[in-house]
Amino acid sequence: MQAKQGYFEAAGGPEVIRWRQIDLPAPGPGEVLLRHEAVGLNFIDTYHRGGLYPVTFPATLGLEAAGTIEAAGEGVKLAPGTRAATMGPSRGAYATARIVPAREVIALPDDIDARTAAASLLKGCTTEMLAERVATPQPGEWALVHAAAGGVGQLLVQWLAAIGVRVIGTAGSANKQALARSLGCELVIPADAPDIGEQVRAATGGAGVRATYDGVGKATWEASLKATGRRGTIASFGNASGPVTGVNLGVLAAHGSLYVTRPTLFDWYATPQEAAGGVARLWEMIRTGKVRIDVGQTYPLEQAAQAHRDLEARRTIGSTLLLP
């Protein structure tokens, strides 16, 4: 089977993404051939492309895609014709089809379509990990979500509100701020406000939040420290503005004996049982309407470079799909 595949030969800006036709072999033992209907765009794709997360060249891009299994190798229980999705850790989702290790493939329930899966699987499981495993504020407690109108941010706001957590968000434009409020934020602070920490403290009676979820990184680190209350947790899960470096551990004591973690999804989904539980919980939240999946924009697959530009320039809202 022939497929179109995105790849790059050196780290750099979106312009390094190239395209080629490849011949896919028959899947080997423990593998499947997955034909893609939708590909998910995630910030981690820009980290691979830009060199923040080193890769071996030439390299492929993308962790998340959904479609249909066309063929299965020896020992695979998933039959051809099964609707399925993947969220990594293997890269290569920027393609019309690819060979994937069967252990990374998740069969889709009948009520989850390919676009919903590709828009939600990686971000949704990241949300489940953050809200229910990494930092777990209880009903009535406060949490801060940076980039509350972004892909993970939207899901986190909804998820936390659904389990009774009081949510404060940060967002850039007026439209994004309004969206964050509509999803469940009780207070939305402009992302460029110089006093985010102070505003959070005022809203929480001086106590600060129990948990801060920070996918922005360098630009929001100081605000996260100031906003998080005594013995609270900062979950720093992304580097959209650059990585947090040179952390002085004494700062954590000075701000109230804080906990800080830099979680990675596949450390929390390390076993099939852990992954299956998280995926099932995500489908439940979508199925019951507690979490709505917003596909804010779509691009043809070969316009992935433009999608990267828009994502890094904060021009996207919610999830983004690349369509083969």
Strand 97-101 with 31-41, pairing: antiparallel
Strand 228-236 with 209-214, pairing: parallel
What is the C-alpha separation between 126 and 239, in angstroms, rounded? 15
pTM: 0.93
* pLDDT in the model for residue 243: 84
* pLDDT in the model for residue 317: 87
Question: Which residue ranges in the chain fall short of pLDDT 50?
Answer: none
What is the C-alpha separation between 282 and 190, in angstroms, rounded? 29
Q: Which amino acid type is present at position 79?
A: A
**202 Rama class: left (phi>0) / alpha (psi -120 to 50) / beta:** alpha
What is the C-alpha separation between 320 and 14, in angstroms, rounded? 16
Q: Are 198 and 144 in contact (CB under 8 A)?
A: no
* pLDDT in the model for residue 239: 85
* pLDDT in the model for residue 306: 98
Alpha carbon of residue 152 to chain centroid: 5
